[in-house]
Amino acid sequence: MIIGRQHKYLYVEVPQTGSSAIARELCELYGGEKVLNNHAWLSHAKRQLEEDFSDYLIVSGRRHPLDRIVSTYEKYRGRHKSHDEVGQWPGGGARHADRYAWVHRSNASFETYFTRYHRFWDAKAPRPWTHGRLVDHVIRFEHLNDDFQAMLTRLGIEPMRDLPLVNKTHLKNAGFETYYTDGIRALAAAAYGPWCEFWGYDIDFLECAIPTLNRWVFRAKMARALAV
C-alpha cells in the first residue's frame, strides 16, 4: 500500500494488476511512501493509519478475472522473473505454494488446473476496494498507463514519463482467451461470468451463457463483501 501525503492519495495494491510498477513509480517520482504491507486491505489502512482519508483520492487496480487466472497459472509454471529455480515458490502463502507444487508435480495443463481450482463455489466476489463505490479511481490493467496518467491528472500532478512495466508474466500464447478451451468454457462462464459482467469485461469469446442462479449467488457474495 502506498500513501502520498503531499498529494493526498492512497493506492491500494491488488496483485496482478500492475501494482508493482505503479507502487515503484509513485515512490520514486510522486512522493509515495510504503505503509503496512504490499497488499493490505483498504479497511486495514482506515483502522491502522492515523489519517483522515476524507479528502484523499483512493485508488486501486482491476484486471479481467479470466486473465488474472491465466497469469497466476503461468507464475505457477515458472514463467515469471521472481522464480529463481523450479520447485521453489517465492512467496504468497501456503495456498499458492501448494498449487505451485501441484502444477509442477502433475505438469498440469491449464484446463486441468482450472477444473481443479476454479469451480463456481471456489470463485469469490471481487475484493470490495476494487469496486467503484468504495474507491475514487480504478486503474485497469488493460489501460495501465492511460489510467495511471488520469490518476495523476486528477491529483493535479504533471506526469513525468510513461509508466515502466515490471514483474511481467510471459504467456505462452497470443492472449489469455486462447487458454480457455472447449472443455472449460462453460465452467468459466458459470464461475466468473457474473464477475466479468459486473465489471464490464467481455466474455463473448467463451460462447457460453451465464446461468441465472450464478448471477444471484454472485450478487449475494457482493452484498456480503460490500457490507464488510
- pLDDT band (50, 70, 90) for residue 133: low
pLDDT of residue 62: 92
- pLDDT band (50, 70, 90) for residue 61: very high
For the ranges 32-36, 129-133, 166-170, the lowest mean pLDDT is seen at 129-133
Count the residues in the chain: 228
Identify whether 214 is part of a domain: no
Read off the pLDDT of each residue in 200-214 and give the average, rounded to a whole number: 94
Cell of 137: 479511481
pLDDT of residue 42: 78
* pLDDT tens digits, 6-56: 999 999 998 889 999 999 999 999 999 999 877 777 777 888 888 888 899
Identify whether 45 is part of a domain: yes
Instruction: Judge contact between 57 and 11, C-beta under 8 A.
Output: no
Structural domains in the chain (count):
1
Residue 39 belongs to domain spanning: 2-63+127-154
* pLDDT tens digits, 70-124: 999 998 988 555 444 444 555 557 888 899 999 989 999 999 999 999 987 666 6
pLDDT of residue 49: 84
Identify whether 41 is part of a domain: yes
Identify whether 57 is part of a domain: yes
pLDDT of residue 94: 82
pLDDT of residue 90: 57
Q: Higher confidence at residue 86 or residue 164?
A: 164
111 CB neighbour count, 10 Å cutoff: 15
86 CB neighbour count, 10 Å cutoff: 9
pLDDT of residue 165: 77
* Residue 57 scores a pLDDT above 50: yes
Identify whether 179 is part of a domain: no
Identify whether 102 is part of a domain: no
Percentage above 90 pLDDT, the chain: 59
Is residue 198 classed as helix, strand or coil in its secondary structure?
helix
pLDDT of residue 37: 79
